[in-house]
Structure 1
Amino acid sequence: MSASGWWEAASRRVPIAGWPAWARWLAVALLYLWLFAGFWLMFKGSQGIRLLGLAMFAAGLPLLAHSGRILMRERSRPADRRYVRQFMPAMLLYIVVMLYVWPLQQGMPPGWLKTATVLSPVVPIIWVIWGSICYVLASDEMQRLQHLVALAIGVSVVCVASLALGFLGAARMIVLNGSLALMMVYPAVCITYGVARCVLVWRARSE
């Protein structure tokens, strides 16, 4: 049974709504600690340690999508479980590519093979984006509006921050790594969008 399926079976036996608040927050904190430990091990030590970290991260990743439901005392919807089935293999593929495929480009001569190797991490990211689109389309009208507003807020925040950093860099007040800055745009949008949506959901529930 997968980690996601195990969680669904366990939550049916012990309803999340019956958990005390401290237990729900503790469960989420332990999940994030587990994921952080696995991610850290993937970049430390021998090959065996890195594989152990990858296995730990893979085991905890399906439960990440359920963490919000835990805190909100809700059961995961079928759309949530479908998103996990798309998101998990895509992210695992991204991690494997970044660990074992992308570094190979350092010793390659310029050409189509090096270009394909360099761009290989983009493929699982497209998979993640497609899964996110399917997840939003499976939501109801109110949830779609929340996604849209949260995305607008996230993109606006990242655009303003990028513009400010660009002006500071042009004035030589700070030194920017252009490649790193471009690579951080998508994660920054994801983070700001996620925070904005959490706030929107919390406000909707408190009204």
Structure 2
Amino acid sequence: MRAVHKRYLREFFPAMLAYVLLLFFSVGWLKTLEGSLARTLVTLLPVLPIAFVIRAMVRVIRDQDEFERRIDLESIAIAGGIGAFGFFTYGMLLNARVIAAPPAEAVAIWVLPVLLGCFGVVKCAVRLYYRAR
């Protein structure tokens, strides 16, 4: 494993662990709080580690070689398209009242996980594509 990828793992995993811990902590704490400011601050606690996850992703992409960057660029473009198409399709079905509408926050909170999940799956597929060529 190259040094750039080792650094990525050293940055990514602690940030994800902090996210998970802060998410559980904030959800539990939020139930006991009154007032908008306190609820806002506690709700946004898990967002900070996600900023570090994004920073780690940007740094690894920036510091990779050209071929690895190409794979990541194609993967994020395809993943973004898949996620956007999926949410657009979902929105059209909601608009037509074909499916029951959930609360807006239930949809909004899934945008980043869907994008990152699609990116991971698509990146594996793009790597396999280039390996086979």
- Could you tell me the TM-score, scaled by structure 2's length? 0.93
Quote the Cα distance in structure 2 between the aligned partners of 1:105 and 1:123. 17
1:9 corresponds in structure 2 to none
Q: Is the Cα contact below 8 Å between 1:94 and 1:125 reproduced in 2?
A: yes
Q: Deviations over 1:133-188 (max 9, x none)?
A: 00111111111111111101001111111111111111211123221211111111
Is the Cα contact below 8 Å between 1:102 and 1:120 reproduced in 2?
no
> Match for residue 132 of structure 2?
206
Which residue of 2 is the match for residue 136 of structure 1? 61
Give unpaired runs (5+ residues) of structure 1: 1-75
Where does residue 82 of structure 2 map in the other structure? 157
3-state SS in 2 of match to 1:166: helix
Q: Does 1:126 align with 2:36?
A: no
Contact 1:79/1:138, CA 8 A, preserved across alignment: yes
Q: How many residues align?
A: 132
- Name the % identity: 27
Distance 1:167 1:206 in 2: 37
Structure of greater relative contact order (alpha carbons < 8 Å, 6+ residues apart): 2
Is the 1:169–1:175 Cα contact (8 Å) retained in structure 2? yes
Partner residue of 1:146 out of 42, 50, 71: 71
Q: State the structure with more CA Rg.
A: 1
> Could you say which residue in structure 2 is the equivalent of 1:108?
33
Partner letter of residue 79 of structure 2? G
TM-score (structure 1 length as normaliser): 0.61
Could you say which residue in structure 2 is the equivalent of 1:39?
none
The 10-residue stretch of structure 1 (149-158 or 190-199) with the greater mean CA deviation from structure 2: 190-199
Structure 1 stretches (4+) deviating beyond 2 angstroms?
Answer: none
Structure 1 residue aligned with 2:7:
82
